[in-house]
Amino acid sequence: MRKALIFLAVLTILGGAGYFLVTIKSFADGVIEDSKRIEELKKSGAFDEPIIVSKDSLTQNIVDSTSQEESDPKEWLTTTITEFFDQNSHHHFREITTEKYAKYKQDALCVVYDCDNSLTEEEFKQKWNDTYDITYAGFGTGFLIDQQDWYKIVVTKCELTDQSIRGTYIFNTEVTDTGFELTHSNEITVVLTANGFKIDDVKRQK
C-alpha cells in the first residue's frame, strides 16, 4: 500500500513538471513571435520618429483655413444681392434674411405704409429697441436700396470688417445701379444658420 502511494506521488510530481515545461515553452514561443512582429513593424516604419510641424507652418495653415472660411460668406453675399435684384427674379427679402430680421424690416416698412398690424414709431421702438439699433431701421425705405425702381444692381464693394463672433460676419458693402448711376452703402451682418448664410442686419451708411 505504501509503495502504491509513493508511486502515485512520483507521477503527480512528474505530471506537474511536465505542465510547467509546456507552459514555459508556450511563453517562450510567444516571446519569439512578439519579437518577430516588432521587427516587422520596425521595417514598415511604424516606429519612425514623428514629423515635427514648425510653428510658422502651423500658423500659415490656420491663416489659410481662416481665409477660406471668410471667402464663403463674402461670395454668398455678393451672389445673393445680385440675384435678389435680378429683373427676372421675384424674391422677397425674407428668403435671404433671418426670420427675426425679416419681421424687423417688415415692421419698419409698415411704420410708414398702411399694413396689417402696422406699428407706430413708439410701438416699433418698444418692440425692437433691445434687439436692433433702430436708428438704422429705415422707416418706409426699401431693402438694401432707397429706390423703388432700378435698372441693374451690381455689388461694387464687399469688404469683411469684423468676424469677432464665430459664425457672424460684418461687411461694408456698396451696391450700384448702373442705369440710374446711384450707389447705396450698407453695413451688412451675415450669420451662419442651420439653413446656411442669412442676412441678420442692414445698417444704411450715409
CA distance 136 to 9: 103
Percent of the chain residues past pLDDT 90, beyond the cut: 53
Is the residue at 24 inside a domain? no
Domain total of the chain:
1
Is the residue at 53 inside a domain? no
Is the residue at 106 inside a domain? yes
Is the residue at 105 inside a domain? yes
Domain around 116: 58-205
Higher pLDDT, 18 or 155: 155
Cα three-residue angle 127-128-132, rounded to 5 degrees: 170
Is the residue at 123 inside a domain? yes
Is the residue at 181 inside a domain? yes
Is the residue at 179 inside a domain? yes
Residue 190 CB contacts under 8 Å (≥ 6 apart), including other chains = 73, 76, 77, 168, 169, 170, 171, 197, 198, 199, 200
Structure confidence by residue, pLDDT tens digits, 90-112: 778 999 999 999 999 999 999 99
Please give the torsion angle defined by the CA atoms of residues 94, 100, 103 and 106, in that order, rounded to the nearest 10 degrees: -60
Higher pLDDT, 27 or 105: 105
In the structure grid, which three cell numbers stand for residue 196, read together?
Answer: 446656411
Structure confidence by residue, pLDDT tens digits, 124-173: 999 999 999 999 999 988 899 988 888 899 999 999 999 999 999 999 99
